[in-house]
Amino acid sequence: MGTPKKQRRLRVGSMKRIRFTDIPLVGKPKKRRPQVVNVPKRPVKVKTKLPVEPDPKWTTAGLWPQSVVERMMANVHFPSSPVNKRGELLPTAEDIEEPLPLPIKSGARLGIVGRGPLHLTMARELGASTYSWPIELHHIEEDLPDVLILPAVNWAKIAVARQVIEKYPNILVIFWWTGTDVLQHFRYASRFPKYPRFRQKFYKAVHLCVSRRLQAELRSKDIRAQLLTLPPHERHIVEAVAPPEQYTVVSYMPLNRVGFYGWSKVVEVARLCPDIRFIFFGTNEQIRIALFDLPPNIERRGWVNIHDLLRESNCLLRLTNHDGFPKCVIEAKQHNRVVITNQEMPYVVQMSEPAEIAAFLRGRPQPNPEGCEYYKNFNYDEIKRVFNRG
């Protein structure tokens, strides 16, 4: 009785496949007869060229156009703020009220996930240790803290927090929401039913956020967050410098996320105000951005010192699809500059339509010293009190 036949497959290159049959080795082996079978080609990926005119919906992965953000936030109620004579939003009781201290014992060991400028500054001011990102559970087990702080929450950090909470229930985990991470949570919150026990602990955990808008968004998802704004990453002594005679508006505009930062609206404002100087900063891709048809009153710069740039400007314009409490707004108000944004923050002018913004800029708005004093109080003294590090 002979050995059953066996079929083997051998792949040669990427275009052909050779199929042959082994014959039982009885006596003199016979030559193998290969059979050639044509394999269809794989589709070739075509690289898309950069558009000459950026589409307002042109965004990178993880960020969404304004229509998607509005649909996600349709059920979120944002409280209104009073406005002063200059058109600036005044701080409300929630902005002025001091946050309550966290349940942290004196001398507790703090750990911060991440080693960026924000994390290193927090570690230096709070006397905490840092964990490099990406992180796994065994990295934390090598140096277990009493309190684990997760700034700029994303789903990967939530996954690590789930492992820590389930294995080390005595560790206090603090989630600190800073902006777009809230949008990511809105998108991936459907995964929570897979972990019902962690879901209950997650919603009862300690949550912090940097603005009232994020607080309202998180409340719509049953997350009660305490308002605690993060100051700028680096300490800087702001000197009182008079604004330039030629009215200048600066705007943060990274080229890879122009749709998210309101490229079309800011360019339209520059077209409506030809006698005002505009400066785009935040990208080093000068060659690519030179392809766009920009008005002559727009100047393009790369990564610059924000304090030097604010000294030669009168106003900061920031029109984003979504925002938390960015440090450039805090720094602009500390330099006593006018801030125009479509988000709600204390002592800023809230506008969104290009025609309305252009009409406001033609009046050459002047800054408010009261708002400058309000933002100069943004420091780590309040954060140290909340974390019991005084």
Q: Strand, helix or coil at 253?
A: coil
Amino acid 250: pLDDT: 95
Amino acid 317: pLDDT: 96
Amino acid 367: pLDDT: 83
CATH number, domain 108-230, options 1.10.1760, 1.10.10, 1.10.760, 3.40.50: 3.40.50
* Sequential pLDDT tens for the chain (390 residues): 554 544 444 444 444 444 444 444 455 555 665 555 555 555 555 444 444 444 444 443 334 455 555 665 665 656 666 777 667 777 676 666 677 788 888 889 999 988 888 788 888 888 888 888 777 888 888 888 999 998 888 777 888 888 888 888 888 999 999 888 888 887 777 666 667 777 778 888 899 998 888 888 888 888 888 988 888 766 656 676 788 889 999 999 887 777 888 888 999 999 999 999 999 988 665 545 555 678 889 988 888 888 889 999 999 999 998 888 888 898 898 888 999 999 888 889 999 999 999 999 999 998 888 888 888 777 788 888 888 886
Compute the distance between CA of residue 72 and CA of residue 67 in angstroms, rounded to an integer.
9
The answer to whether 108-230 and 248-376 have equal CATH topology is yes
| In the chain, where the domains are located | 108-230, 248-376
Q: Does 248-376 carry CATH code 3.30.1300.10?
A: no
Closest CA relative to residue 211, chosen from 162, 178, 175, 170: 178
Predicted TM-score (pTM) of the model is: 0.74
Sheet containing 298-300, strands listed edge to edge, beginning at the edge strand earlier in sequence: 298-300, 277-281, 248-252, 315-318, 338-341, 349-350
